[in-house]
């Protein structure tokens, strides 16, 4: 029997966490299966030819808009957003096609960033559009979706996140968690709060990821002082 070394644990995404008083999931130790996380990409779109970077930029198709988090109260109109499809390298050492909604003014620059990441074979587990339903489900603390536009408030705040304007991107959140005091998001990613233990998919100062975003004038949350948001890149350092 052939064993898929990159297969996800059967329980991934299915274990709701007890909630803390602040509404986040309880921060629990990282399961052994995820300490060195390297999971294959679930292909939702047609994969591109091996080793070739392919990208498209277009207005958001109605079907994509309908399954996204956009609604009329969001701080951007649908016309201010663009729909990207882009190749990305997976932990399974294959090329895949991901999708992303981004502010249209930054679409070409963002495609340029991900072309560099693909060329460097920086692994990304999943790249897809987040749905509105996902914002309301109980946290499982093990998600790892690379995404940009999500119409939601900033973590721990009531004001809009930069994601709500398509001006921020999170990359491999599990490998690059948000850490502030005793809060870790995703809540099972504590093993990756140790940035000295370097594993594939992690973002580090002056690596190919931070350098590519710096070239387009975007900022990295891994350099913030009051908290560390290693997954997060934004156009205005927020």
Q: Give the percent of the chain with pLDDT over 70.
A: 97
Nearest one of 84, 103, 80, 238 to 166, comparing CA atoms: 103
DSSP state at residue 23: S
Which two structure tokens, joined as six digits, stand for 68?
A: 């996204």
Strand pairing report for 219-220 and 232-234: antiparallel
* Mean pLDDT of the region 221-233: 96
Question: Which of 207, 235, 203 minimizes the C-alpha distance to 219?
Answer: 235
Q: State the chain's mean pLDDT as an integer.
A: 95
| 39-78 as b/e: b if 16+ CB within 10 A | bbbeeeeeebeeeebebeeeebeeebbeebbbeeebebee
Instruction: Kindly indicate the confidence band of residue 222, based on its pLDDT and cuts at 50, 70 and 90.
Output: very high
pLDDT at 157: 65
Going by C-alpha positions, the residue among 88, 101, 100, 80 that lies closest to residue 43 is 88
Neighbouring residues of 136: CB distance < 8 A, sequence distance ≥ 6:
none
Say if residues 103 and 166 touch (Cβ distance below 8 Å): yes
pLDDT digits over 53-100, tens only? 999 999 999 999 999 999 999 999 999 999 999 999 999 999 999 999
Using alpha carbons, select from 114, 229, 95 the residue that is nearest to residue 175. Answer: 229
Q: How far apart are CA 232 and CA 58, in angstroms?
A: 24
Other CB atoms within 10 A of residue 138 CB: 11
């Amino acid at each position: 029997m052939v064993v898929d070394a990159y297969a996800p644990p059967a329980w991934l995404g299915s274990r709701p966490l007890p909630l803390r008083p602040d509404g986040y999931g309880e921060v629990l130790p990282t399961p052994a299966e995820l300490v060195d996380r390297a999971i294959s990409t679930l292909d939702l779109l047609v994969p591109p030819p091996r080793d070739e970077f392919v990208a498209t930029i277009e207005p958001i198709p109605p079907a994509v808009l309908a399954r996204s988090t956009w609604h009329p109260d969001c701080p951007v109109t649908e016309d201010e957003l663009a729909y990207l499809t882009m190749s990305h390298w997976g932990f399974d050492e294959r090329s895949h096609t991901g999708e992303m909604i981004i502010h249209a003014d930054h679409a070409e620059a963002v495609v340029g960033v991900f072309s560099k990441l693909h060329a460097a074979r920086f692994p990304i587990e999943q790249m897809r559009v987040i749905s509105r339903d996902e914002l309301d489900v109980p946290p499982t603390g093990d998600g790892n979706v690379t995404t940009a536009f999500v119409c939601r408030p900033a973590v721990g705040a009531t004001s809009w996140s930069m994601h709500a304007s398509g001006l921020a991107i999170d990359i491999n959140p599990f490998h690059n968690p948000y850490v502030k005091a005793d809060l870790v998001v995703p809540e099972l990613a504590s093993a990756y709060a140790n940035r000295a233990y370097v594993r594939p998919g992690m973002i580090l100062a002056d690596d190919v990821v931070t350098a590519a975003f710096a070239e387009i004038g975007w900022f990295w949350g891994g350099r913030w002082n009051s908290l560390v948001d290693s997954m997060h890149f934004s156009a205005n350092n927020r």
